[in-house]
Amino acid sequence: MKKLYYLWQFMKGNRALYIISIGAIGMATFLLFFWPMILRVTVDSIIGEKALEAQGWLKPIFTGAFNFFGGRSGLVGKLWICSILLIIITLIRGIFLYFKGKWSAIASESIAQRIRDKVYNHLQLLPYNYHVKSKTGDLIQRCTSDVETIRRFLAIQFVEVGRAFFMVGFALSFMIPMSVPMTLVSMALVPFIFGFAVIFFIKVKKAFQLSDESEGRMSTVLQENLSGVRVVRAFARQAHEMDKFDTRNCEYRDLTYRLIRLLAWYWSISDFLSLIQIAAVLILGTFWAANGVISLGTLLAFSTFVGMMLWPIRQMGRVLTDMGKTMVSVGRIHEILDEPTEEFHDDEKIAVKGKIEFKNVSFEYEPGKPVLKDVSFTVEPGQTVAILGSTGSGKTSLVHLLPRLYDYTSGSITIDGIELKDIDKHAIRKNVGIVLQEPFLFSRTLKENIGISRINSEDDEIFEAAQIASVHDVILDFQKGYETAVGERGVTLSGGQKQRVAMARTLLMNTPILIFDDSLSAVDIETDAAIRAQLNRRARKATTFIISHRLTTLSEADIILVLEHGKLVQIGSHEELVNQEGLYKRIWNIQNSLEEELETELEKNNVKIGINK
């Protein structure tokens, strides 16, 4: 019920149009019933000699029209009038059906478009953590095929429910006044046909679901293969992947085949029941007509009614199953919409100087598994902080706290003395530039990829940012320069070029706080040094965090933090840390001895080379 309410909510703005379109199908159905009625009058009272017989509310309409055309004597020589009437009715019916199709399509397409917009906009506002955890394929499916299920249901099936109701309602109101016994005969098997349809489709719901899920699995294999195509090629796993796809493909075929077999059964049995129903009407009707209980025209009318009525009733089972499927889709879409979004106040602006203080900060992704434990340190504006630690020690987690991608679990982080949790997320993110450990480039041009961090930035500013990131000349060397389109995820660039483009994007923001998560290590030592030198020359030097394992980079920092299993085990300048036992000194010694070894080795072989640490 709740889901029906959600569906009703989704329909907001198009409800009226949608209801009118159901009204149009009501009108079309209503007109359909005049066909057998006109045939009946023609056979009984124009060709035959019975007095005009029309019951209930139809009486004034029929007698009026009958007399208008001059009664039986007038009409008997002009049977074409009846044909023209039938054609006119068909035409008007066609117009109603056209509008029904048009309106329900407009309504359902707009509803689908609105749902997609709503979900997409909501996804943009969901926290970073949500996107890290959710599967892209699943989200895409929810935004596309689930919405499509809803659209199809609204455009086609729900209208069918309307048609079936109108059909039965009008049939009864046309049939009962004509002959109650014939009505009973015509309706005798309807409950069974309807019941059979409902029960059958409830039973095969599972088969529908299995086939849908299997299709989903097949698409996942396809999607993963396509996005991981480089891994597949690199490891020569094509044959394995083909097998995997083939298995899924066969599974899907088998399940669909089973479904089609079941459906074939359904339609045969349902056909059989319907034929019995029609036969009953014909046999009893003929018998009664022969005995003069009903007229020939009435028999004709009833046999046509039954044929008309059975089809939508047989469809109902299918519609009800699809309704179940639609409700599942509505639920899946609402799961996204129910996720709480991040709070933003776009107008809030802050001027950050860049003093940062961590006091006993702890952080955990999952309760009970702390990733950062009791971390405390202070950084003055403009200082450079280097972070060192083995993999998984919490470096990335620590820097992710600054732009509030995640919020710390306990302790306090202040920026210029203000508690970070009290600063709006948008406002702080405009002041913290971060180059992610695994940068992502959009399949757009290089200029767009860099410019994305600051809308309406001038070309000069983009060039300057690229210059600092030492990528400007590289870009100019490309045939199309800044207009070069990078492939999906930036595949046409080398790893280091990609890192530098990502860096330029962050530098363009010119933020008072800057974070490089391992990004400088992806470029060679000289470029690394050049980039840092450029940064130091900037008019306003940013408070900079650099995660790196490169000693030249680390040793030049004002403060070095050494993390081990989420704990800050050492803190100090290069001079302080080389004289302390610990990770920093160990790495220093290893790198130094390696270089000495290399130098002796090279000297032995008479090679003279200047080694840059």
Q: For binding to Mg ion (CB under 5 A), which residues are involved? A: 396, 437
Which residue number, 295 or 397, has a Cβ lying nearer to ligand CTP? 397
Which residue number, 464 or 518, has a Cβ lying nearer to ligand CTP? 518
Query: Is residue 395 within the footprint of ligand CTP (CB under 6 A)?
Result: yes
On the 0-12 / 13-18 / 19+ scale of CB atoms within 10 A, 435 is: buried
Cβ atoms of 549 and 387 closer than 8 Å: no
Amino acid identity at 262: L
| Nearest Cα to Cα of residue 230 among 491, 444, 496 | 491
Which residue number, 362 or 437, has a Cβ lying nearer to ligand CTP? 437
Which residue number, 42 or 397, has a Cβ lying nearer to ligand CTP? 397
Of the ranges 94-102, 235-243, 288-296, 389-397, which one interacts with ligand CTP (CB under 6 A)?
389-397
Which residue number, 149 or 521, has a Cβ lying nearer to ligand CTP? 521
CA–CA distances in Å: residue 209 to residues 55, 139, 144, 285, 326: 49, 19, 18, 44, 12
The binder of 439, among Mg ion, ligand CTP, none, by C-beta within 5 to 8 A per type, is none
Cβ atoms of 469 and 504 closer than 8 Å: yes
Which residue number, 437 or 534, has a Cβ lying nearer to ligand CTP? 437
Site string for ligand CTP, 314-353 (x = CB under 6 A): ----------------------------------------
Could you tell me the smallest distance in angstroms from the CB atom of residue 392 to ligand CTP? 4
Cβ atoms of 43 and 300 closer than 8 Å: yes
Query: Is residue 26 within the footprint of ligand CTP (CB under 6 A)?
Result: no
Q: What sign results for the dihedral spanned by CA atoms 447, 448, 450, 453?
A: positive
Query: Is residue 394 within the footprint of ligand CTP (CB under 6 A)?
Result: yes
Site string for ligand CTP, 411-440 (x = CB under 6 A): --------------------------x---
Which residue number, 375 or 423, has a Cβ lying nearer to ligand CTP? 375
**Backbone angles phi and psi of 418, in degrees to 5:** -100, 135
Long-range contacts of 413-422 (CB under 8 A, 24+ apart): 413/356, 413/357, 413/358, 413/359, 413/361, 414/356, 414/357, 414/359, 415/352, 415/354, 415/355, 415/356, 415/513, 416/352, 416/353, 416/354, 416/355, 417/355, 417/357, 418/350
The binder of 393, among Mg ion, ligand CTP, none, by C-beta within 5 to 8 A per type, is ligand CTP
Distance of alpha carbon 152 from its chain centroid, rounded? 16
Query: Is residue 548 within the footprint of ligand CTP (CB under 6 A)?
Result: no
Residues in the chain, overall count: 613
Which of 397, 449, 499, 544: binder of ligand CTP (CB under 6 A)?
A: 397
Query: Is residue 484 within the footprint of ligand CTP (CB under 6 A)?
Result: no
The binder of 389, among Mg ion, ligand CTP, none, by C-beta within 5 to 8 A per type, is ligand CTP
Using CB under 6 A as the binding criterion, the count of chain residues that bind ligand CTP stands at: 12
CA distance 303 to 281: 6
CA–CA distances in Å: residue 354 to residues 183, 357, 415, 457: 86, 10, 7, 24
| Nearest Cα to Cα of residue 343 among 129, 133, 118, 126 | 126
Which residue number, 392 or 487, has a Cβ lying nearer to Mg ion? 392
Query: Is residue 393 within the footprint of ligand CTP (CB under 6 A)?
Result: yes
Q: What sign results for the dihedral spanned by CA atoms 399, 400, 404, 408?
A: negative
Site string for ligand CTP, 124-143 (x = CB under 6 A): --------x-----------
Query: Is residue 391 within the footprint of ligand CTP (CB under 6 A)?
Result: yes
- Binding positions for ligand CTP, 60-89, rule CB under 6 A: none
Q: What sign results for the dihedral spanned by CA atoms 387, 393, 396, 397?
A: negative
What tokens appear for 102 in the block? Answer: 């048009």
Please report where in the chains the tokens 């690394």 appear, as a residue: 528
Of the ranges 98-106, 323-331, 391-399, 470-478, which one interacts with ligand CTP (CB under 6 A)?
391-399
Could you tell me the smallest distance in angstroms from the CB atom of residue 134 to ligand CTP? 12
Could you tell me the smallest distance in angstroms from the CB atom of residue 407 to ligand CTP? 14
Ramachandran category for residue 145: left, alpha or beta (phi over 0 → left; psi -120 to 50 → alpha)? alpha
The binder of 391, among Mg ion, ligand CTP, none, by C-beta within 5 to 8 A per type, is ligand CTP
Query: Is residue 396 within the footprint of ligand CTP (CB under 6 A)?
Result: yes
Interacting residue ranges for ligand CTP, rule: CB under 6 A: 132, 365, 371, 389, 391-397, 437
